[in-house]
Amino acid sequence: MFQLSNLPFFTFIFWSCCTFNGVVSDPQTNLLKIQCNPFNEFFINNISIFNDNLHATFEDIREQISDQNKHFATSQQQRQGENPVITLFQCRNYLPIIDCVACLDAAAVRIRSCVATIAPGAHVVYDGCFLRYNSNGFFDETTQDFNFASCGNQTAGDQAPTFTKTVRQVLMNLQVATPRIPSFFAATKMNVPNGKAFDAGCFMRYSTNSFFNDSQTIDITPMTKQGSSKKRVIIIGGVVGGAALVLIILALFARIRRRRRNERVPRGDITGASKLEGLVTYNYNDLISATNNFSEVNKLGEGGFGAVYKGTMKNGKVVAVKKLTLQQSRKMEEDFESEVKLISNVHRRNLVRLLGCCSKGHYKILIYEYMKNGSLDKFLFGRSKGSLKWKQRYEVILGIARGLTYLHEKFLVRIIHRDIKTNNILLDDDLQPKIVDFGLAKLLLEDKSHLTTRIAGTLGYTAPEYVFHGQLSEKADIYSYGVVVLEIISGQRSNELRLHGNDAGAFLLQKAWKLYEQDKHLELVDETLDPNEYDAEEVKKIIEIGLLCTQASANMRPVMSEIVVLLQNKNSLEKMRPTMPILIETN
């Protein structure tokens, strides 16, 4: 059986031992694995509130499963504005709902052993279901260190050559058939040995024993023929095995993401976000005191939306205080609180947390979590230039992609940043990236095109269709992301003209494309990086990903969830080849 949910994508792989001769109807609560996250991964400042939030997510999911006959559900709770909990439950589609509920109840009891250790997150896996909670967002994750495999004690024996051939064929069939089915659920039935494996990815299972009803089985063959993509049927069962499993899953995930681009459920605007938590408001006089009356000494920087100051609150907590530079209008006054309320509900590791706001007369102020390492640009071009090793740069590239994936595809509404650049990427204590200033530009409805006369962004990072035509979509952020990727690899500013050498008179994007055409990618790499610290082919691939993002045609650029998969896949881009970008000069 193979399932990829229509809700935020989360994967899980396992193989189990059972017989195809009968029908199994039980919760299948054989425990496979439980894992508690390290307590220092994310701080829980009030375990009682955290427990209440966790319990509320369990109740919400149980209600969804039992009342709506669902096999997959998610829930988020953040009572009293702190200690958020995000929970996901997935039950095997072949189980009756009553068994899914029983499996959920068993998992909820088992996973509380992690809560007792103040773990900010945990997974528990049974034969019949999977439960996960976390204090931070995780819906865009495709794999992590939860991977585990266990082979059964049976072998193919003399039938090994036939078995291997069969497995390979079924893997190919599933790869073709599954994306063509709306529920991304496909299966077939044949006799094979046993095994179990699971991951934070997708779900597969094979066995000689029955784990679903025979009446659900449909021949998979028609779905694998050319021209059969219009046949939308649910096909049950699955056969998997061999070392090619991970590669097949990654390829399948990429294909599904491409298909889902045009099939996403439309998300409403701010007024439709009915489950938003309340907004924390700060006292203006307290902010005056915290920033020493917004003194220059406390000033951290200034951007298109206003100046940012370091503030120390009365309780000792250090925050970043942004005084917004906004046009005064009745509409802005009306929209300010609702827009800021929306932004404050965004919780993701790679996004800077908005703690609250303050509105005092014509003053509009936002209070963010404080990042003492400051912005990425100083590590690439400023006083800390050359201090980031290749592994750290890769983590920054991946983290930015994850943050943008959440904004574009995972949150209640689609948020387009419009100004992705290195000084809007902050680094935390572990040098993990956090995107700031998201949501301060207009929000774009997913099912409507949008033209705007005001261009928000920075030349050198801004997509050509946005500059020339004012045409805005998430692909504008993807273009900017591609430019940032090239800056991270090269240690060069995108809008800085090359004055010496063979690339004299060229900007970064021009230089990168020229080197790509000549298959001299590595000449772009920052000279401060030790060649012994990185794999040349990996760097070449990521340069090509940057160029895929900066293609002149917005439609040809991949979406952010695809980029995350491409970055994590250790193989080459195969047939994906970038086309020439358009350079927008900054003068």
Active site residues: 419
Nearest to 12 by CA among 186, 216, 205: 205
Candidates 202, 197, 193, 200; CA nearest to 167 is 193
CB 343 within 8 A of CB 396: no
Region label for 32, one of left (φ > 0), alpha (ψ between -120 and 50) or beta (otherwise): alpha
The structure tokens 């090509």 sit at 544
- Which one-letter amino acid corresponds to residue 308? V
Number of H helices, E strands in the chain: 13, 17
DSSP per-residue codes, 537-584: HHHHHHHHHHHHHT-SSGGGSPPHHHHHHHHH--S--TT---------
Residue whose token pair is 């865009």:
140
Rounded-to-integer distance, Cα 364 and Cα 337, Å: 10
Element spanning 59, H or E = helix 47-68
Cα(first)–Cα(last) distance of the chain, in Å?
57
Tokens of 229: 């993509």
Contacts of 587 (CB under 8 A, 6+ apart): none
Closest to 381 in 3D by CA, of 558, 526, 213, 571: 526
Sign of CA dihedral 264, 269, 274, 276: positive
Instruction: Answer positive or negative: Cα dihedral of 564, 570, 574, 577.
Output: positive
Query: Which stretches of 328-437 are DSSP H helices?
Result: 330-344, 376-380, 390-405
Instruction: Note the maximum CA span of the chain.
Output: 82
Radius of gyration of the chain (CA): 25
Q: Which of 108, 169, 130 is nearest to 5 (CA)?
A: 130
Q: Minimal CA–CA distance to 585: which of 478, 454, 467, 451? A: 467
Say how far apart CA 4 and CA 185 lie, in whole Å: 6
Q: Which residues of 434-464 are buried (b: 16+ CB within 10 A; e: fewer)?
A: bbbbbbbbbbbebeeeeeeeeebbbebbbbb
- E strand or H helix at 34: strand 31-36
Report yes or no: 254 and 566 within 8 Å, Cβ to Cβ.
yes
